[in-house]
Amino acid sequence: MIFKNATCFTISNMEAVTREKLAELNDFPVTEPHKTQLSSLGWCHPFEQSDSFIMPIPFAGEPRYTVICMVEVYRNIDNASIKREVKKRCDALFDQSGVQLTRKERLVVKEEVVVDALPGALCKERRTLAYIDHEKALLVINQDSIKKCDEFTSQLRERLGSLPVIPLQTKYRPEVIMNEWLKENTEPSYIDFKGEAIFKSPLDLAQTAKVKHVDIDSQVISEILDMGMVPQQLYLTWVISEHIKADFHLKDNLALKSINLDYEVEELEDFSGQDQEADKRSEYEATALLFMDSVSDIFSKLVVVFGGFDD
Protein backbone atom coordinates (compact mmCIF):
# COMPACT_ATOMS: atom_id res chain seq x y z
CA MET A 1 0.00 0.00 0.00
CA ILE A 2 1.57 3.31 -1.00
CA PHE A 3 -0.71 5.44 1.24
CA LYS A 4 -2.26 4.73 4.62
CA ASN A 5 -4.22 7.99 4.72
CA ALA A 6 -5.55 10.42 2.13
CA THR A 7 -6.65 14.05 2.22
CA CYS A 8 -7.91 15.53 -1.03
CA PHE A 9 -7.49 19.05 -2.45
CA THR A 10 -9.02 20.38 -5.65
CA ILE A 11 -6.74 22.19 -8.09
CA SER A 12 -8.24 25.24 -9.80
CA ASN A 13 -5.42 25.80 -12.30
CA MET A 14 -3.62 22.73 -13.63
CA GLU A 15 -1.03 24.92 -15.36
CA ALA A 16 0.56 25.39 -11.92
CA VAL A 17 1.23 21.65 -11.51
CA THR A 18 2.26 20.46 -14.94
CA ARG A 19 5.04 17.89 -14.99
CA GLU A 20 7.38 20.59 -16.25
CA LYS A 21 6.55 22.71 -13.18
CA LEU A 22 6.79 19.75 -10.83
CA ALA A 23 10.23 18.97 -12.24
CA GLU A 24 11.42 22.16 -10.52
CA LEU A 25 11.39 20.13 -7.29
CA ASN A 26 14.63 18.61 -8.57
CA ASP A 27 16.30 21.88 -7.57
CA PHE A 28 15.42 21.34 -3.90
CA PRO A 29 16.87 17.99 -2.77
CA VAL A 30 16.74 17.08 0.88
CA THR A 31 19.91 17.83 2.86
CA GLU A 32 21.09 17.13 6.40
CA PRO A 33 20.13 19.91 8.81
CA HIS A 34 22.93 22.16 9.97
CA LYS A 35 24.24 21.30 13.42
CA THR A 36 22.25 24.24 14.81
CA GLN A 37 19.02 23.24 13.01
CA LEU A 38 16.35 20.96 14.37
CA SER A 39 15.19 19.85 10.90
CA SER A 40 15.36 20.49 7.17
CA LEU A 41 12.89 19.91 4.34
CA GLY A 42 13.47 18.82 0.78
CA TRP A 43 12.24 16.52 -1.98
CA CYS A 44 13.26 13.11 -3.28
CA HIS A 45 12.14 10.41 -5.69
CA PRO A 46 9.14 8.51 -4.29
CA PHE A 47 10.51 5.06 -5.07
CA GLU A 48 14.23 5.02 -5.68
CA GLN A 49 17.29 7.07 -6.48
CA SER A 50 16.68 8.81 -9.77
CA ASP A 51 17.64 11.87 -11.77
CA SER A 52 14.09 13.16 -11.32
CA PHE A 53 12.04 13.66 -8.15
CA ILE A 54 8.71 13.25 -9.93
CA MET A 55 7.25 9.87 -10.85
CA PRO A 56 4.66 9.79 -13.64
CA ILE A 57 2.41 6.71 -13.44
CA PRO A 58 1.26 5.47 -16.87
CA PHE A 59 -2.47 4.95 -17.42
CA ALA A 60 -3.66 3.63 -20.78
CA GLY A 61 -0.40 4.84 -22.28
CA GLU A 62 -0.65 8.34 -20.80
CA PRO A 63 0.71 9.37 -17.38
CA ARG A 64 -2.50 10.42 -15.63
CA TYR A 65 -0.88 10.61 -12.19
CA THR A 66 2.34 12.06 -10.84
CA VAL A 67 3.71 10.96 -7.48
CA ILE A 68 5.91 13.34 -5.45
CA CYS A 69 7.60 12.97 -2.09
CA MET A 70 8.56 15.56 0.53
CA VAL A 71 11.21 14.58 3.06
CA GLU A 72 11.85 16.03 6.49
CA VAL A 73 15.21 15.18 8.04
CA TYR A 74 15.07 15.94 11.75
CA ARG A 75 17.34 15.52 14.73
CA ASN A 76 15.97 12.94 17.15
CA ILE A 77 15.84 14.88 20.41
CA ASP A 78 14.77 12.97 23.52
CA ASN A 79 12.06 15.16 25.05
CA ALA A 80 12.34 13.55 28.48
CA SER A 81 16.07 14.32 28.59
CA ILE A 82 15.43 17.90 27.45
CA LYS A 83 12.81 18.33 30.18
CA ARG A 84 15.17 17.04 32.87
CA GLU A 85 18.00 19.33 31.74
CA VAL A 86 15.68 22.35 31.62
CA LYS A 87 14.53 21.66 35.17
CA LYS A 88 18.13 21.22 36.30
CA ARG A 89 19.22 24.57 34.83
CA CYS A 90 16.13 26.43 36.08
CA ASP A 91 16.64 25.05 39.58
CA ALA A 92 20.28 26.16 39.48
CA LEU A 93 19.26 29.69 38.44
CA PHE A 94 16.68 29.80 41.26
CA ASP A 95 19.33 28.72 43.78
CA GLN A 96 21.56 31.57 42.60
CA SER A 97 18.93 34.34 42.59
CA GLY A 98 16.17 33.09 44.86
CA VAL A 99 13.64 34.21 42.21
CA GLN A 100 11.43 31.85 40.24
CA LEU A 101 11.86 32.12 36.48
CA THR A 102 8.96 33.39 34.41
CA ARG A 103 7.44 31.25 31.67
CA LYS A 104 9.26 33.33 29.06
CA GLU A 105 12.58 32.83 30.83
CA ARG A 106 11.99 29.07 31.08
CA LEU A 107 11.36 28.97 27.32
CA VAL A 108 14.68 30.71 26.74
CA VAL A 109 16.40 28.08 28.90
CA LYS A 110 14.67 25.32 26.92
CA GLU A 111 15.86 26.82 23.61
CA GLU A 112 19.42 26.88 24.95
CA VAL A 113 19.17 23.23 26.03
CA VAL A 114 17.85 22.17 22.61
CA VAL A 115 20.61 24.09 20.78
CA ASP A 116 23.24 22.42 22.99
CA ALA A 117 21.75 18.98 22.27
CA LEU A 118 21.47 19.35 18.47
CA PRO A 119 25.08 18.63 17.38
CA GLY A 120 25.11 15.21 19.04
CA ALA A 121 21.60 14.15 18.05
CA LEU A 122 21.16 11.53 15.33
CA CYS A 123 19.07 12.39 12.30
CA LYS A 124 15.89 10.58 11.30
CA GLU A 125 13.76 10.87 8.19
CA ARG A 126 10.02 11.42 7.70
CA ARG A 127 8.50 11.15 4.22
CA THR A 128 5.17 12.46 2.96
CA LEU A 129 3.90 11.12 -0.34
CA ALA A 130 1.32 12.81 -2.53
CA TYR A 131 -0.05 12.39 -6.02
CA ILE A 132 -1.56 14.72 -8.58
CA ASP A 133 -4.49 13.38 -10.59
CA HIS A 134 -4.06 15.38 -13.81
CA GLU A 135 -7.40 14.22 -15.22
CA LYS A 136 -9.60 15.03 -12.22
CA ALA A 137 -7.52 18.02 -11.04
CA LEU A 138 -6.87 16.60 -7.57
CA LEU A 139 -3.96 16.71 -5.16
CA VAL A 140 -4.07 13.81 -2.68
CA ILE A 141 -1.69 13.78 0.30
CA ASN A 142 -0.82 10.79 2.46
CA GLN A 143 -2.06 12.49 5.63
CA ASP A 144 -5.29 12.76 7.59
CA SER A 145 -4.11 15.78 9.60
CA ILE A 146 -5.03 19.20 8.23
CA LYS A 147 -2.00 20.73 9.95
CA LYS A 148 0.40 18.28 8.25
CA CYS A 149 -1.32 18.83 4.91
CA ASP A 150 -0.93 22.59 5.31
CA GLU A 151 2.80 22.10 5.93
CA PHE A 152 3.05 20.03 2.74
CA THR A 153 1.08 22.45 0.55
CA SER A 154 3.02 25.43 1.96
CA GLN A 155 6.32 23.81 1.02
CA LEU A 156 5.06 22.81 -2.41
CA ARG A 157 3.69 26.31 -3.03
CA GLU A 158 7.00 27.86 -1.98
CA ARG A 159 8.97 25.66 -4.38
CA LEU A 160 6.60 25.98 -7.36
CA GLY A 161 5.82 29.67 -6.90
CA SER A 162 2.05 29.06 -6.76
CA LEU A 163 -0.31 26.26 -5.82
CA PRO A 164 -4.02 27.03 -6.41
CA VAL A 165 -5.55 24.33 -4.21
CA ILE A 166 -8.30 24.20 -1.60
CA PRO A 167 -9.42 21.31 0.62
CA LEU A 168 -12.17 19.20 -0.92
CA GLN A 169 -15.46 20.85 0.03
CA THR A 170 -18.96 19.57 -0.64
CA LYS A 171 -22.37 21.24 -0.64
CA TYR A 172 -23.64 19.21 2.31
CA ARG A 173 -21.65 18.85 5.51
CA PRO A 174 -20.34 15.27 5.78
CA GLU A 175 -21.43 14.81 9.40
CA VAL A 176 -25.03 15.67 8.43
CA ILE A 177 -25.16 13.01 5.71
CA MET A 178 -23.34 10.43 7.85
CA ASN A 179 -25.85 11.16 10.60
CA GLU A 180 -28.67 10.31 8.18
CA TRP A 181 -26.91 7.06 7.24
CA LEU A 182 -26.92 5.97 10.86
CA LYS A 183 -30.41 7.23 11.70
CA GLU A 184 -32.23 6.04 8.59
CA ASN A 185 -29.86 3.30 7.35
CA THR A 186 -29.69 5.16 4.02
CA GLU A 187 -26.03 4.74 3.09
CA PRO A 188 -25.39 3.88 -0.60
CA SER A 189 -25.45 0.20 -1.50
CA TYR A 190 -21.70 0.12 -2.11
CA ILE A 191 -20.94 1.29 1.47
CA ASP A 192 -21.03 -0.96 4.55
CA PHE A 193 -20.69 0.32 8.12
CA LYS A 194 -18.11 -1.79 9.99
CA GLY A 195 -19.41 -1.14 13.50
CA GLU A 196 -16.87 1.45 14.62
CA ALA A 197 -17.38 5.21 14.94
CA ILE A 198 -16.41 8.37 16.78
CA PHE A 199 -19.04 10.99 17.58
CA LYS A 200 -18.68 14.64 18.60
CA SER A 201 -20.93 17.24 20.17
CA PRO A 202 -21.53 20.26 17.89
CA LEU A 203 -21.74 22.42 21.03
CA ASP A 204 -18.56 21.11 22.66
CA LEU A 205 -15.98 19.67 20.27
CA ALA A 206 -14.00 18.26 23.20
CA GLN A 207 -16.94 15.99 24.05
CA THR A 208 -16.69 12.76 22.07
CA ALA A 209 -18.02 9.21 22.20
CA LYS A 210 -16.53 6.06 20.65
CA VAL A 211 -18.22 2.79 19.74
CA LYS A 212 -16.84 -0.52 18.46
CA HIS A 213 -18.37 -3.78 17.31
CA VAL A 214 -21.93 -2.47 17.02
CA ASP A 215 -24.55 -2.70 14.29
CA ILE A 216 -25.66 0.40 12.41
CA ASP A 217 -29.15 0.10 13.93
CA SER A 218 -27.96 -0.66 17.49
CA GLN A 219 -29.50 0.95 20.55
CA VAL A 220 -26.09 2.36 21.52
CA ILE A 221 -25.85 4.44 18.35
CA SER A 222 -29.48 5.57 18.66
CA GLU A 223 -28.86 6.83 22.19
CA ILE A 224 -25.73 8.74 21.13
CA LEU A 225 -27.56 10.38 18.23
CA ASP A 226 -30.51 11.23 20.49
CA MET A 227 -28.04 13.16 22.68
CA GLY A 228 -27.43 15.46 19.71
CA MET A 229 -24.00 14.09 18.87
CA VAL A 230 -22.98 13.68 15.21
CA PRO A 231 -20.49 11.38 13.48
CA GLN A 232 -16.92 12.60 13.41
CA GLN A 233 -15.53 9.40 11.94
CA LEU A 234 -17.06 6.21 10.53
CA TYR A 235 -15.29 2.95 9.74
CA LEU A 236 -16.52 1.79 6.33
CA THR A 237 -16.06 -0.81 3.65
CA TRP A 238 -16.37 0.79 0.21
CA VAL A 239 -16.97 -1.49 -2.77
CA ILE A 240 -15.15 0.07 -5.71
CA SER A 241 -15.71 -2.69 -8.26
CA GLU A 242 -16.45 -6.39 -8.46
CA HIS A 243 -12.85 -7.22 -7.59
CA ILE A 244 -11.75 -4.22 -5.48
CA LYS A 245 -12.91 -2.85 -2.16
CA ALA A 246 -11.38 -0.58 0.46
CA ASP A 247 -11.70 -0.35 4.24
CA PHE A 248 -11.05 3.05 5.80
CA HIS A 249 -12.19 5.53 8.42
CA LEU A 250 -14.08 8.41 6.80
CA LYS A 251 -13.56 11.61 8.78
CA ASP A 252 -15.86 14.63 8.82
CA ASN A 253 -13.24 16.65 6.91
CA LEU A 254 -13.52 14.05 4.09
CA ALA A 255 -10.08 12.60 4.87
CA LEU A 256 -9.60 8.84 4.64
CA LYS A 257 -7.69 7.21 7.50
CA SER A 258 -6.08 3.75 7.79
CA ILE A 259 -6.85 2.74 4.20
CA ASN A 260 -6.69 -0.95 3.40
CA LEU A 261 -7.21 -1.82 -0.25
CA ASP A 262 -8.41 -5.37 -0.91
CA TYR A 263 -8.10 -6.62 -4.48
CA GLU A 264 -7.67 -9.86 -6.36
CA VAL A 265 -4.14 -10.63 -7.48
CA GLU A 266 -5.35 -10.84 -11.08
CA GLU A 267 -5.89 -7.07 -10.98
CA LEU A 268 -2.10 -6.66 -11.19
CA GLU A 269 -0.07 -7.67 -14.19
CA ASP A 270 2.57 -10.41 -13.99
CA PHE A 271 5.99 -8.78 -14.22
CA SER A 272 8.09 -11.93 -13.89
CA GLY A 273 10.81 -12.26 -16.46
CA GLN A 274 12.04 -8.69 -16.15
CA ASP A 275 15.29 -7.90 -14.38
CA GLN A 276 14.90 -7.53 -10.62
CA GLU A 277 15.06 -3.73 -10.47
CA ALA A 278 12.66 -3.27 -13.40
CA ASP A 279 10.34 -5.85 -11.85
CA LYS A 280 10.22 -3.95 -8.54
CA ARG A 281 9.53 -0.65 -10.25
CA SER A 282 6.85 -2.11 -12.54
CA GLU A 283 5.12 -3.77 -9.61
CA TYR A 284 5.26 -0.51 -7.64
CA GLU A 285 3.79 1.43 -10.56
CA ALA A 286 1.01 -1.14 -11.03
CA THR A 287 0.14 -1.11 -7.32
CA ALA A 288 0.30 2.68 -7.23
CA LEU A 289 -1.96 2.94 -10.28
CA LEU A 290 -4.54 0.59 -8.78
CA PHE A 291 -4.44 2.48 -5.48
CA MET A 292 -4.71 5.96 -7.02
CA ASP A 293 -7.51 4.90 -9.37
CA SER A 294 -9.40 3.57 -6.35
CA VAL A 295 -8.82 6.57 -4.07
CA SER A 296 -9.64 9.12 -6.78
CA ASP A 297 -12.80 7.15 -7.51
CA ILE A 298 -13.77 7.25 -3.82
CA PHE A 299 -13.25 11.01 -3.61
CA SER A 300 -15.26 11.56 -6.80
CA LYS A 301 -18.16 9.54 -5.42
CA LEU A 302 -17.94 11.29 -2.04
CA VAL A 303 -18.53 14.57 -3.86
CA VAL A 304 -21.67 13.11 -5.41
CA VAL A 305 -22.88 11.54 -2.16
CA PHE A 306 -22.44 14.82 -0.28
CA GLY A 307 -24.30 16.98 -2.80
CA GLY A 308 -21.60 18.03 -5.27
CA PHE A 309 -18.81 20.58 -4.98
CA ASP A 310 -19.43 23.53 -2.69
CA ASP A 311 -19.77 26.70 -4.75
Identify which of 123, 241, 232 has the alpha carbon closest to the alpha carbon of residue 179: 232
Lowest mean pLDDT among 6-20, 40-54, 167-181: 40-54
Full-prediction pTM beyond 0.85?
A: no
DSSP annotation of 33: P
Note the pLDDT of residue 60: 46
Lowest mean pLDDT among 123-132, 182-191, 247-256, 282-291: 282-291
- The alpha carbon of residue 162 and the mean position of all alpha carbons in its chain are separated, in whole angstroms, by 21
* Residue 235 to residue 219: CA distance in whole angstroms: 18
Note the pLDDT of residue 58: 46
DSSP 78-132: -HHHHHHHHHHHHHHHHHHHS-PPPHHHHHHHHHHHHHHHGGGPPEEEEEEEEEE
Between 133 and 57, residue with greater pLDDT: 133
- Per-residue pLDDT for 48 more than 90? no
Could you tell me the end-to-end alpha-carbon distance of the chain, in angstroms, rounded to an integer?
Answer: 34
154 Cβ contact list (under 8 Å, min separation 6): none
Q: How confident is the model at residue 55 (pLDDT cuts 50, 70, 90)?
A: low
Note the pLDDT of residue 229: 94
Q: What is the mean pLDDT of residues 227-255?
A: 94
The radius of gyration computed from the CA coordinates of the chain, to the nearest angstrom, equals 24
- Per-residue pLDDT for 155 more than 50? yes
Q: How confident is the model at residue 53 (pLDDT cuts 50, 70, 90)?
A: low
Q: Are 1 and 283 in contact (CB under 8 A)?
A: no
Q: How confident is the model at residue 258 (pLDDT cuts 50, 70, 90)?
A: very high
